[in-house]
Amino acid sequence: MNLLALEPERLLGAVRALLAAKGIASPAEIAERIAATDAASPAQGARMVAIAWTDPEFRALMLADGTRAAESLAIPMRGAPPLGVLENTPDLHHLVVCTLCSCYPRAVLGYPPFWYKSAAYRARAVRDPRGLIAEWGTTLPPATKIRVVDSTADYRWMVLPLRPAGTENWPADRLATLVRETDMIGVTLVATPGDHALNSFASPRPQA
């Protein structure tokens, strides 16, 4: 007999009641966790990036302590691993991978895209990072070095990408619409507004 298939609601109710009765997790705590999971999406990370582009004080906080920066925007971080933020510059580009499994800053980026967990992405990111990001159409100037960040342990890492040209007078909420999860993993660069319409996938697939 498969309880899960037969009476899932009843089973869930029983587990919830037991968790509460044993003092492991109260209904309020479970509700809080569900709300936090539902709220987690790349839009949260994009909001942080856009504010960092427009507010030097927030940018400094975000680079020093990503968790505190997220919490200052009411992004739920309780129970999440510490968040580290990697600042791209014209000379240095970051690419995040978890070669061991699929560590990902879910609190601020949501679920990882399917390819992030693939063996191919994980192997190639450390071995051939330039060839890998070229498949997203990303080419860096030769003078820009790549720093591959292999997320192996207790931190979670997101990239603070470069602000694109042509957005000088944009407010943060408009800037946030430009920032994609791939930009915050480091496989793409934030497209300049004119180019963005051509490449506006939420999670672009690598080109064949």
Q: Active site residue: 102, 118, 200, 203, which one?
A: 102
Q: Is 130 a residue that touches another protein (CB under 8 A)? A: yes
Q: Is 72 a catalytic residue?
A: no
Indicate the burial class of 63 (C-beta count within 10 angstroms; 0-12, 13-18, 19 or more): middle
CB 108 within 8 Å of CB 71: no
Nearer to another protein, 127 or 205 (CB): 127
Indicate the burial class of 23 (C-beta count within 10 angstroms; 0-12, 13-18, 19 or more): exposed
Q: Is 99 a residue that touches another protein (CB under 8 A)? A: yes
Choose which of 47, 59, 122, 163 interacts with another protein (CB under 8 A).
Answer: 122
Contact positions with another protein (CB under 8 A) in 17-76: none
In angstroms, give the least distance from the CB of 109 to another protein. Answer: 11
Of 4-12, 26-34, 54-62, 125-133, the window that binds another protein (rule: CB under 8 A) is 125-133
Q: Is 103 a catalytic residue?
A: yes
CA distances from 208 to 124, 136, 202, 205 (A): 15, 9, 18, 9
Q: Active site residue: 98, 118, 200, 203, which one?
A: 98
CB 67 within 8 Å of CB 189: no
Cα atoms in the 13 Å half-sphere on the side-chain side of 21: 6
Q: Is 153 a residue that touches another protein (CB under 8 A)? A: yes
> Within 10 A of 206 (CB to CB), how many other CB atoms are there?
14
In angstroms, give the least distance from the CB of 86 to another protein. Answer: 8
The residues of the shown chain that bind another protein, judged by CB under 8 A, are: 81-82, 84, 98-104, 106, 111-112, 117-119, 122, 126-130, 142, 145-155
User: Which positions are annotated as active-site residues?
Assistant: 98, 101-103
